[in-house]
A and B are shown apart, each in its own frame.
Chain A
Amino acid sequence: MDTNIDKVLENIRNEENVYTTGKVIKVNEYNIEVSGLTDVSFYEEVDISGKASGYVFAIYPNRVIVSLTQINDNVMVGDLVYALNHEYKCLFSLDSVGKVVDIFGNDLIAGKKFNNLIELPIDGVDIPLMDRSSVNRGLLTGISGIDLIYPIGRGQRQLIIGDKKTGKTQICLDAIVNQKNQNVVCIYVAIGKTKKEVKELYYDLNKNGAATYTVIMASFNDELPTKAYLTPYVALTVAQELMLQKFDVLVIIDDLKKHADVYRQISLTSDKVPGRDAYPSDIFYTHARMLEKGCQHKDGGSVTILPIVETKGSDITDYISTNIISITDGQIVLSKKNFDKGEKPAIDYGLSVSRLGGAVQKKDMSQLGTKIRRELLTYLDVRDIYELSDPSELSDNIKEKITYGNMIIDGLKQYKFSPRSEDEMKKIFSFLNKE
């Protein structure tokens, strides 16, 4: 903050720039109204007398609304506001790997700012249609139920959705840990998680050897909602930059329901008209714009995104969930019922979907996967019908289906942080090849 002011003063001294200034005329939590600032531009960075900073959010004929992203001291009516003559940027350091960071270039574990920071726009360019190519390289998670049945490809957006305590975050952590030596950079974005959860996660990843290629980017609930709103965009800008340098990047966003709620809060306090469930009408675009950053670039790099959404009462058909399902390239649905039965990872194999399917798998994995899925789903379908029947009177066909069904359910069980190789998976399900 002080450096901003110094820069302004320095520039004024050198007469390099003439800054537009204005005065605060109204303050609410994180939006302030400013008079003056006669020729600012939209999304320009502004500084409020060294006390706070943010960006131009709306320009009216005779006033400007500034959205604050950092507040260090109480902003008062009458404070001087400087427009800094450049688009709002966030800060990132390449030393962030293995650290917990925020979008202002702070190392949160060490409690200080990085030295070698680069400036990044909060919203990178949209990769044009012709610069994208098809998603066809796999990104293995080490989880049988995913790699065989609902595979994830590099450049895919696959939603992880389920109730509280069904193992959503765990699946993503497993996926991160399995990227060891796979030349994938991972970014875990924490929105609305508690500080304790983030620190535990940091230790978990360290313990499992994932620290050398993982960045944790966090914003907490005791910080400004604007920061939480921007954090996933910044993470994806970082990911996109790396992708353009031909890296494969995996981004976890934990979670987007919280992000939607934060955005609703910001919208309602800025007088936007509420729509369905009081979310603003552009909530779909808010997430579509973000998740469309996930892609396979024609030059070789990719951004894979695993957004997480928390549901209530196992209902994946609420507004935000369906919005995000309609953006992503598939969803892994986690079921509370399976979780309680000990069938972990608690994937609901009926409701989960991959829109890419075998395109991102090896042929034999894909063939085995479709077989498992079909056997399992038809088993789940007949199980209820014959539940009350006398087992000795069932036809051989039905009996075999039930035996295989049970074996498949057992084979899909897997403990956390115990990834399987493709060969191990094939071995476990080799009984299906017998016919």
Chain B
Amino acid sequence: MDVGKIIAIFEISIEVVLDDDVNVKIGDILEVADNPNYQFEIIEVTGTSATCISLNSTRGLKKGSVVRKKADSLEMEYSDAILGRLFDSYGNVIDDKNITSIAKRPINNKTISLKDLNVDANFLWTGIKVIDFFAPMQKGFKMGLLGGAGVGKTVLIKELIHNLYMESKIKAVFVGVGERTREGKELYDEVVASNLLDNMVMVFGQMSKNPVMRSKSIETGILAAEYLRDEKKEDVLLFVDNIYRYIQAKSEIAMELKEMLIENGYPSNTMNTVSNVEERISSTEDGSITSFQAIYIPADDYNDDAVQNIVSYMDGQIVLDRKIAELGLYPAIDVFKSTSRLIDKDKIGERHFHLVEEVLRYLTRYQELEEIIAVLGIDELSDNDKNIFHRSRKLRYYFSQPLHVSEQFTNIPGEYVKIEDVLNDVENILNGTYDNVDEDKFLFIGKYNG
């Protein structure tokens, strides 16, 4: 059905003057009658005109083109046919194979009500020392992996996919939001090579795509996870790299629409935008969604509005630090900012809790001692401080780890480390058992084997 003519065109938005007696609503998908490659989503309607954002590039689009209605909303396949497949943000299959559609659903599903929400669950160990020790996970948790540019978020996400998905039978959804196309393809190739594609759904809206496409991939990805949770009654792993890019894409759209932006160029409704997706990523009686979400920190500004907004939904966070990365210690985690809701005596138990506290106490003192040494030299320290200093350095090295996915950087085979081993090793470093061992022996190891 023709609905009107295009009268204004910009980089990612257009305006349509509506024909008489045409009824359209926000969310409707329109297309150009003689070139359906141009598609739009309505975001504002007045009596006579509609403002739309363009799903693809508007280059070459002609003023005066006739548009017609295509669908009520963006839709994605909602059946077992999604497993093992690769989708773009609009729910189109992009892995060069056909799909036989059984049922479809709009990608902008509703959020979970308080009534349906389930919060009980078991521990979920990741085999990554820093995560299991400082920020342990449980099923249904949301873990934020925060870091500035180039400090190792994607490597951590990939290791988690390796340790949790590849080693188990849990179904998983991977959503690429505004990240590198190369990484997306490499991940796909790796999953195919390990013969594990059948239990995974992948959705990509990568950084070379326009902001509308980047902003939709998360919704499409969540729909896939919801299908597995609600219809298949499964526990699901959801990996998102990177959720900050979603807010970033929304900012670009808001700028194009000449909305009034708040500080640092974010739209004023960022809070709603975040909650509309985060409140969908939840667990019910039917199944759980455990998610790992990489969060980019723009300009290394940890207090950035968008970052803090996203973090408020997380049950735990791992913060990566450029200063640690600079020392060549990976995963480059800031132990003082990394934690989870489980760090509580009643939840992880007295011993684990006490060890975390003790490690943090040591490392705090270590920072002070570094300053003293810079001025006076190490020989001036008291014996007690010398112990703290050397043990802290061992701890710092011990929390580095050879990861399976970073063998190409370290030339060391990756290791999965059990939490009991981590607790024993940390305890032994702290109580002086290893005082005579060279600190180098703790660098890039799994558990300490003497």
Contact = CB atoms under 8 A, between A and B. Distances in A.
Interface of A: 38-44, 58-61, 87, 123, 126-130, 132-135, 155, 271-276, 279-282, 284-285, 288-289, 292, 295-296, 317-319, 321-327, 329-331, 350-351, 353-359, 366-367, 370, 373-374, 377-378, 381, 384-390, 393, 397
Given A275-B255, A284-B248, A322-B148, A42 B59 contact: yes
Contacts of B256: 282
B121 interface: no
19 contacts: A41-B61, A132-B181, A134-B185, A273-B255, A273-B258, A280-B265, A285-B207, A285-B211, A292-B207, A319-B299, A350-B326, A351-B322, A353-B325, A355-B150, A355-B154, A358-B408, A366-B411, A385-B373, A397-B440
Nearest to A381: B327
A387 B375 CA distance: 10
Given A129-B94, A281-B265, A378-B328, A318 B299 contact: yes
Contacts of A126: 208-209
Nearest to A295: B182
B260 to A, nearest CB: 8
Interface residues of B, number: 75
A322 B299 contact: yes
A327 B95 CA distance: 24
A389 B379 contact: yes
A91 to B, nearest CB: 18
Contact of B211 (A129, A282, A356, A388): A282
B58 A42 contact: yes
Nearest to A123: B59
Contacts of A331: 150
Given A273-B261, A385-B373, A319 B181 contact: no
Interface string B292-325: 0000101110000000000000000000001001
B62 A128 contact: no
A62 to B, nearest CB: 9
B443 interface: yes
Looking at chain B's contact residues, the main secondary structure is mixed
Looking at chain A's contact residues, the main secondary structure is mixed
Given A61-B8, A134-B185, A288-B178, A41 B63 contact: yes
Given A41-B63, A370-B411, A58 B15 contact: no
A357 B408 contact: yes
Contact of B180 (A292, A351, A387): A292
Given A292-B208, A358-B409, A367-B411, 14 more contacts: A41-B61, A42-B58, A42-B61, A58-B10, A59-B9, A134-B186, A271-B258, A272-B255, A276-B299, A282-B211, A285-B211, A324-B149, A384-B373, A385-B373
Given A59-B63, A397-B438, A281 B373 contact: no
Contacts of B254: 281
A61 B186 CA distance: 45
Contacts of A44: 60
Contacts of A367: 411
Nearest to B97: A130
Task: Identify which of B58, B185, B248, B296 gathers the most chain A CB atoms within 10 Å of its CB.
Answer: B185
A97 to B, nearest CB: 28
B210 interface: yes
Nearest to A280: B255
Contact of B15 (A61, A272, A317, A374): A61
A356 B408 contact: yes
A128 B178 CA distance: 14
B184 interface: yes
Interface string B49-77: 00000000011111110000000000000
A327 B180 contact: yes
B265 A130 contact: no
Contacts of A358: 407-409, 411
B85 to A, nearest CB: 12
Contacts of B186: 134
A317 B322 contact: yes
Given A322-B298, A358-B409, A397-B438, A282 B206 contact: no
A359 B62 contact: no
Nearest to A271: B258
Nearest to B189: A134
Contacts of B411: 358, 366-367, 370
B409 A330 contact: no
A-B interface, 7 closest residue pairs, ranked by CB to CB distance from nearest: A275-B265, A388-B377, A292-B208, A325-B149, A288-B207, A326-B149, A377-B328
B409 A325 contact: no
Given A132-B181, A276-B298, A356-B408, A389 B378 contact: yes
B410 A370 contact: yes
B149 A61 contact: no
Contacts of B265: 273-276, 279-281
B188 to A, nearest CB: 7
B251 interface: yes
A350 B11 CA distance: 40
Interface string B82-118: 0000100000001110000000000000000000000
Contact of A285 (B95, B252, B377): B252
A396 to B, nearest CB: 11
A271 B256 CA distance: 10
Contacts of A359: 408
A350 B258 contact: no
B1 interface: no
Interface in B141-156: 148-150, 154
Contacts of B348: none
A19 to B, nearest CB: 14
A76 B328 CA distance: 60
Contact of B181 (A295, A378, A390): A295
B94 A276 contact: no
B299 A60 contact: no
A135 B182 contact: yes
B134 interface: no
A72 B443 CA distance: 64
Given A295-B181, A327-B180, A397-B438, A281 B149 contact: no
A129 B248 CA distance: 22
A330 B150 CA distance: 7
A130 B211 contact: no
A289 B206 CA distance: 10
Contacts of A123: 59
Given A126-B209, A275-B251, A288-B208, A319 B326 contact: no
Contacts of A384: 373-374
A405 to B, nearest CB: 13
B63 A40 contact: yes
A381 B393 CA distance: 11
A154 B395 CA distance: 38
A43 B62 CA distance: 10
A60 B328 contact: no
